[in-house]
Structure 1
């Protein structure tokens, strides 16, 4: 799934030019928090996590009396740590956010952070909270489904992948994973894989090994069952 902390990484030359431009904006308008936030996001996208962290910390201190701005920098700091795979540092910043819209995004990021730590039970709590707040968002339904799949709850995972498909019928990931869970559950799956390959051939190819592995596992189980029946 697309996580909310992700940003496309600019080319090195473009990165330098944009950083220079934003630094000039900050110098010219030191009390406008938007440029600080934009620069933090840009540095994070460029994987310059040390500078992004320092800037977001500085901005959080400078604008802490402005609740909206402070929450924005807490979210930015959480995203810096998430992208740097320092999930234990990210979580407290997401948890402190009060702004209603950002809070929903923070729930998703908390779910993703805990999933990355393989703490699936706690990840599921936050993912379900996010899904209840945004039931028609593709990413919330995919996140819940992914965690349920990781927990081995294929039936519920299938339900949420199908919900994700209803939200966005163009999602190749939702179609592919609905197909995987359908295969395990003994439901019709061929049309789902066909749809996934058409919608997102790159995702389909990248995850085809998963499909092969499940096919082998199911074949081995069937073979074992057949042997048990004969004996």
Structure 2
């Protein structure tokens, strides 16, 4: 799909969702859906304004929490991780709590606060033990902390229900770390799915390796 075509589809979707809100202004899901599309368009200010105003229209906890969760996503998408986490932590409704904990973990991970990320991701995992997104994040966190064997366990669970180049590549990094072999099936599968991503990710590995070696030589 071309960028122009995608923009047209998003604009049509925005128009449809505005009509839905006009027809049913007491459905929080419509506001959340519109904000999600606005975030995809990087119209962050509009999405924030919409959700803040929408929260004033609802008094029930599930609707309030859905819109608050959406607001946290807006802040996360703009890189305001601390503000996003503070917003996600006010979500209480059980049906959104898992996703809120997962997003808090991702926020801490993005800030390289791996121990806090681990704590919230583990809480999210306890609620949905087979969830591929949560297991992948747990793998990412453990890999960042140098815990390759733990990362392997979580990545393998994620791979049962998910098969992306990023996940396969990171599982390949774990395999390379554990076996001390530069090539493995996970790298091969990642390259097959997305050659461009694989090439960039592999180059980052090479750059990191060079940096580590130069640091050791300097010592």
- TM band (smaller chain): 0.7 to 0.9
Q: In 2 relative to 1, CA 35–174 (structure 1 residues): closer, same or farther, beyond 3 Å?
A: closer
Query: Normalization by structure 1: what TM-score?
Result: 0.80
Relative distance call for 1:148 and 1:195 in structure 2 (3 A) is: same
- 1:34-89 superposed Cα distances (whole Å, 9 cap, x missing partner): 322221112111111111111101111111x2111111101100001011111111
What is the rounded CA distance, in whole Å, between the counterparts of 1:215 and 1:92 in structure 2? 36
Counterpart CA distance in 2 for 1:86 and 1:9 is: 29
Conserved? CA contact 2:139–2:154, under 8 Å? yes
8 Å CA contact 1:111–1:125 kept in 2: the answer is yes
Q: Look up the match of 1:49.
A: 44
Residue 24 of structure 1 and its aligned partner are, at CA, apart by: 3.0
TM-score normalised per structure 2: 0.84
The 1:203/1:213 distance shift into structure 2, 3 A limit, reads same
> In structure 1, what is the equivalent of residue 172 of structure 2?
179
SS in 2 for 1:23: helix
CA distance in 1, matches of 2:103, 2:84: 9
Task: Specify every segment of 5 or more residues in structure 2 that has no aligned partner in the other structure, as ranges.
Answer: none
In the TM superposition, residue 148 of structure 1 has moved relative to its aligned partner by 1.3
Match for residue 228 of structure 1? Answer: none
Greater gyration radius: 1
Q: CA deviation at 1:162?
A: 2.4
CA contact (8 A) 1:68 1:99 kept: yes
8 Å Cα contact 1:26-1:32 kept in structure 2: yes
1:174 CA drift (Å): 2.9
* CA drift at 1:139: 0.9
SS of residue matched to 1:62 = coil
Query: Quick one: distance in 1 between partners of 2:179 and 2:209?
Result: 12
Query: What do you get for the CA RMSD once the two structures are aligned?
Result: 2.8
Match of residue 129 from structure 1: 123
Q: How many residues align?
A: 213
- The 5-angstrom pairing of residues 199-214 of structure 1 reads 199-213=193-207
Residue of 12, 17, 21 corresponding to 1:22: 17
Higher alpha-carbon deviation: 24-33 or 95-104? 24-33
| SS class of match (1:142) | helix
